């Protein structure tokens, strides 16, 4: 079994070890994985994601020979697998020097220790236990076992957690038997039966069993920032970021806010008010546009009816529009057939999305649905409708004018 050096020292960033075996990473991943007699690399477990880094043949000191440790996993039987980008000249029995990616490790320590304090804060203040922890690429989250969670609770837990950070309390690693652990009042006992438990002790604030890498004093966490909360099937999820991740997140948020404020020519704090104003203006202008279009359609209909000569007790209006949309010609067809009790309108749009609208005044003898289907079948398109009103879209404009003229001639007979 590999000795887990990170159990005793989260700040051990370099170590020497012997290669016990060289295997493939998994059945689905043929990449080489190294098993060592001891390691400072943390494998993904308990919500915390793996370390990355490098290993190089011991004694060379030649960084060009270093091999990238791309992932570290723990197999079902408890072996720690250091998955390499390429195996290089590493062989079973050889000695290596391991180097942990320090920035990544520090980030993980900030997130994970921050999580312990945050979870403890929710228990202390509101008796809300954490049921799971997830460390993501951008943010982390805990799932709380509760039906309700208010913004006031979130802010109170954040404030208490940050107080604990600023107090710079010592964070110690302790090993106890399961029996001893039972008497210590841990926040969380692991379900697995182990002889010895590893505890993370945030002085006078939180004591919990955990295998992760942690800071040695809470001040190293920097800060804890709570973000989105959302209801899940079993409770509430709270997103958070700690330390440098929090600074990076806020920096990105600020850039977005500053850009938005620039677009609105306002201060970032006035963005919601400005957006509401823009929304109201948009609604008002949409409404006035609709009103104007109806008026235009009314006037247009009157003009078309005045221009069209009656033939056989009715007027047949045929018109093509290069710059109108379907909504408008439907509106126009509606106005035409309402303004006159004996009109048939055959309207088309010849823009990028060609379309047809056929309509007749109520009581006229034709069937617009049937007529439009005939035309669409001939020109290529889809659509349909009722006896008095039908519409359809065409693939192309070619042939539209001739088809409408042909339908009009037929209705005139």
Task: Map 114-158 to HEC letters.
Answer: HHHHHHHHHHHHHCCCEEEEEECCCCEEEEECCCCCCHHHHHHHH
Closer of 192 and 309 to Zn ion (Cβ): 192
- Residue nearest Zn ion by beta-carbon distance: 210
User: Is residue 331 part of the contact set for Zn ion (CB under 5 A)?
Assistant: no
Q: Determine the Cα–Cα distance for residues 368 and 72; give it in Å rounded to an integer.
A: 70
Q: Which is nearer to Zn ion, 212 or 392 (CB)?
A: 212
Element of type H or E holding 116: helix 102-126
Residue 80 in the binding site for Zn ion (CB under 5 A): no
Cβ proximity to Zn ion, 212 vs 381, nearer residue: 212
Closest contact distance (angstroms) between CB of 198 and Zn ion is: 10
By beta-carbon proximity to Zn ion, the closer residue of 210 and 368 is 210
27-59: b (≥16 Cβ within 10 Å) or e: eeeeebbbbbebbbbbbeeebbbbbbbbbbbee
DSSP per residue, 256-283: HHHHHHHHHTS-GGGHHHHHHHHHHHHH
Binding flag, residue 114, Zn ion (CB under 5 A): no
Determine if 164 is a binding residue for Zn ion (CB under 5 A): no
Q: How many CA atoms lie within 13 A of 201 on its CB side?
A: 14
| Only segment of 95-103, 172-180, 202-210, 282-290 that touches Zn ion (CB under 5 A) | 202-210
53 scored as a contact of Zn ion (CB under 5 A): no
Binding Zn ion by CB under 5 A: which of 43, 57, 114, 212?
A: 212
CA distance 396 to 394: 5
Size of the site for Zn ion (CB under 5 A): 2
Nearer to Zn ion, 186 or 210 (CB): 210
Shortest Å, Cβ 48 to Zn ion:
7
Residue closer to Zn ion, measured from CB, 8 or 252: 8
Instruction: Give the one residue of 210, 326, 346, 355 binding Zn ion; rule: CB under 5 A.
Output: 210
Find tokens 């006229």 and name the residue: 364
**What is the binding site for Zn ion (CB under 5 A)?**
210, 212
């Amino acid at each position: 079994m590999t000795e887990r050096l990170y159990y005793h020292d989260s700040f051990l960033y370099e170590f020497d070890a012997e290669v016990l075996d060289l295997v493939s990473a998994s059945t689905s991943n043929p990449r080489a994985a190294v098993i060592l007699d001891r390691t400072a690399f943390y494998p993904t477990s308990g919500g915390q994601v793996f370390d990355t880094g490098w290993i190089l043949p011991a004694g060379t000191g030649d960084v060009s020979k270093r091999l990238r440790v791309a992932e570290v996993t723990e197999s079902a039987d408890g072996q720690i697998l250091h998955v390499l980008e390429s195996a290089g000249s590493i062989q079973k029995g050889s000695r290596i020097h391991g180097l942990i990616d320090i920035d990544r490790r520090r980030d993980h320590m900030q997130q994970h220790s921050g999580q312990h304090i945050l979870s403890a804060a929710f228990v202390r203040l509101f008796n809300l236990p954490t049921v799971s922890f997830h460390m993501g690429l951008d943010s982390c989250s805990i799932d709380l076992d509760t039906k309700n969670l208010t913004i006031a609770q979130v802010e109170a837990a954040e404030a208490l957690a940050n107080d604990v950070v600023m107090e710079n309390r010592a964070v110690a690693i302790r090993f106890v038997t399961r029996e001893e652990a039972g008497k210590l009042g841990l926040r969380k006992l692991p379900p697995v039966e182990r002889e010895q438990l590893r505890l993370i002790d945030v002085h006078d604030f939180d004591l919990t069993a955990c295998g992760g890498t942690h800071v040695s004093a809470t001040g190293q966490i920097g800060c804890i920032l709570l973000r989105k909360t959302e209801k899940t099937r079993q409770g509430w999820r709270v997103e958070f970021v700690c330390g440098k991740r929090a600074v990076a997140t806020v920096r990105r948020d600020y850039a977005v806010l500053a850009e938005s404020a620039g677009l609105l020519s306002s201060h970032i704090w006035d963005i919601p008010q400005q957006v509401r104003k823009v929304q109201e203006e948009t609604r008002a202008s949409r409404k006035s546009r609709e009103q104007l279009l109806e008026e235009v359609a009314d006037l247009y209909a009157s003009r078309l009816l005045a221009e069209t000569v009656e033939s056989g007790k009715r007027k047949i209006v045929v018109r093509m529009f290069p710059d109108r949309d379907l909504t408008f010609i439907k509106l126009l067809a509606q106005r035409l057939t309402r303004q006159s009790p004996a009109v048939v309108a055959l309207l088309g749009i010849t823009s990028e999305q060609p379309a047809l609208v056929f309509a007749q005044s109520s009581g006229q003898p034709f069937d617009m649905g049937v007529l439009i289907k005939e035309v669409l079948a001939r020109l290529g398109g889809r659509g349909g409708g009722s006896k008095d009103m039908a519409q359809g879209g065409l693939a192309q404009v070619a042939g539209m004018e001739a088809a409408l003229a042909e339908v009009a001639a037929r209705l005139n007979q």
